[in-house]
Structure 1
Amino acid sequence: MARGGAGDPDDGVELLWREGDVEPRPGLSLSRIVRTAIELADAEGLEGLSMRKVADRLGFTTMSLYRHVPSRDHLLDLMRDAVMGSPGAVPSERGGQGRRAGAEKADGQVRGAGAEEAGGWRARLEACAREGWRLRERHPWLAEVRGTRRVPGPNAVAHYEYMLSAVSGTGLTPAEMIAVVGLVARFVDSEALRLAEVARTERLSGVSEEEWWGSRDTLYARLERYPTLTRLWEEGGYDEPEDPFEFGLRRVLDGIEMLVQERDETRDETCQICGAPVERAASGRPRAYCSRACQQRAYRKRKSG
């Protein structure tokens, strides 16, 4: 069994997607371990999280924890999925949140509403981004759980499904839908990571960000040779800066909106199978096939390919 390392990713899948806790010892459960680890990370950051500290808080030995969780990395994945299953983590207009890791079970699915419902694709995608931001404000360590090989749990997949459903019916290609959702998610994570890094530095140094930069007179004395920077400083550009999250989210969504409009204007409204004209649905949602028969032919073609 792994001790503190990455461990077997298949073990992570079994833990995250389990149907219930298996309790080898009374009084210690996987749900208690995950909740305690979240509380510890909220208070001390990831640098303060260890299997030993979690065990101490619970009043058990570290070895007892390893009977439930193979490694710290597995624990991080469980923590991430647990907080992503908290109330509001996925906008609830469609219901169907995923199961909370280490807590109660749910159906683990979010049914897509389509871009034409609930205020349109932009409002839905923006709501997802804002709730993701609020979640990372409550749990700053969440942005630090990074890596391209993190196994997702049911709550993370439910959140991803909801975001994909937000841009369905926009005319974007399947690859563009995936890219758009990835772009928004990475933007939220990058901004949240910046806040987490600031909080971590302040916690370790005992000096606030404003105090530290306010004491850099030796640096500022050397910046007068840069005319554009000096002009922006003198004109108050740094006095009331734009909110990085608000400014960035607007610009990201504006860019996606331009792509959606481009696809809407250039979309060839003919059947992808037989080439016959395709009438747009009354809701305005685009159709790719002229009939149910062509839709079924396309499905069989994809399955055989």
Structure 2
Amino acid sequence: MAVERSGGGHPERTMALLWRAHAEPAGTDRTPRGRKPRLSVDAIVRAAIAVADTEGLPAMSMSRVADELGSGTMSLYTYLPGKAELIDLMVDQVLLECALPGPDEPRTGDWRQQVELYAHRAREVHRRHPWLWQVSLVRPPLGPGVLAVHEYLLSALSGAGLSARQLVDAAGAVATFVDAAARREAESDQAEQVTGESHEAWWAARESYWDRFFDERAHPAMARVRREGGYERAATESNADLFAFGLASLLDGIERGVTRRR
């Protein structure tokens, strides 16, 4: 399946759109005189997110969003240049749903608990908007949603005693884990929905692999893990459990690294 890439639109126009609610002083009235416009950038972004949520990102096009709004396609281009910019706006908007405490807002727990708050809220955003895994964020939209998440992560990890360079690296490691784990989970859910076949049924249909094709001498580590039940997932073990284990292991590593350097 094709992956869309954020950061592909016109730089200046994209940033102006991302920061539209913050660009003018309070009380500034930029509403044109005459008839009130039927559409707005916010309405277009909301409609695009709704289409992607229900029909998938490939179905989200300027014409489909226009249909959702009951408008002509060309009307949308008076508000934003095109699909590339719209995808950036969509990604940044849903990241605001993390609703993380700002710099002047109270927080609870130590640095690990604060990072865990981000991780679990970001995972929920991915679950609400599974199309996110189809957008590459290697070049992220530099909007209020992305910056709020990054600011929160840096401030939370500051409690671990990291240097400025280490803060950036640790925040990148945590964000990479959360995004990758959440995207894998979303992709897994989609595979079951599209095929109508559970993962358990898929593996069961290929059980003969172990007897007919698996060579223990060529894969001794795999053989040992299989003999000791490492591939048998407990019925009570959920994706949330796996996510929590991976996150705790990563935070343990950050904590041990700080202690070792001290």
2:160 aligned partner = 170
Give the TM-score taking structure 2 as reference length: 0.80
What do the CA deviations read for 1:232-283 (whole angstroms, capped 9, x no partner)?
33443222256431221111000011122234xx3xxxxxxxxxxxxxxxxx
Match of 2:75 among 61, 64, 70: 64
Alpha-carbon distance change, 19 to 90 in structure 1, aligned in 2, over 3 angstroms: closer
Which residue of structure 2 aligns with residue 53 of structure 1? Answer: 64
Q: Residue 78 of structure 1: which of 70, 84, 89 is its match?
A: 89
Maintained 8 Å contact 2:110/2:159: no
Matches within 5 A, 1:142-291: 142-226=132-216, 227-240=220-233, 243-263=241-261, 266=262
**1-structure distance, mates of 2:127, 2:40:** 27
Output the CA distance in 2 between the equivalents of 1:198 and 1:47.
Answer: 18
Displacement after TM superposition at 1:55 (Å): 1.1
Gaps of 5+ in 1: 97-109, 267-305
- Over the aligned positions, Cα root-mean-square deviation in angstroms equals 2.6
Per-residue Cα deviation, 1:123-146 (whole angstroms, up to 9, x for no partner): 111211111112111112223321
TM-score normalised per structure 1: 0.70
Alpha-carbon separation, structure 2, partners of 1:37 and 1:18? 17
Letter in 2 for 1:259: G
| 1:60, distance to aligned residue in structure 2 (A) | 1.1
Determine if contact 2:45/2:89 at 8 Å carries over to the other structure.
yes
Instruction: Give the secondary structure class of the aligned counterpart of 1:148.
Output: coil
Unmatched tracts of structure 2, length 5 or more:
1-6, 23-29
Secondary structure in 2 aligned to 1:10? helix
Distance in structure 1 (CA, Å) of the matches to 2:128 and 2:167: 28
Q: What's the counterpart of residue 15 of structure 2?
A: 13
The sequence identity of aligned pairs, in percent, is: 42
Distance 1:181 1:205, change over 3 A: same
Contact 1:30 1:69 in 2 (8 A): yes
Is 1:6–1:71's contact at 8 Å kept on the other side of the alignment? no
The one-character-per-residue Cα deviations of 1:22-62 (angstroms, maximum 9, x if unpaired) are 68972212111111111111112222222221111111122
Point out the structure with max Rg over C-alpha: 1
The residue that corresponds to 2:99 in the other structure is 90
For 2:27, the equivalent position in structure 1 comes to none
Q: How does 1:24-43 map to 2 (within 5 A)?
A: 26-43=37-54
Alignment-derived partner of residue 3 in structure 2: none
Instruction: Give SS of 2:20's match.
Output: coil
Structure with a larger share of its residues in helix: 2
Name the structure, 1 or 2, with higher relative contact order (CA <8 Å, separation 6+).
Answer: 2
Aligned residue type for 2:109: G
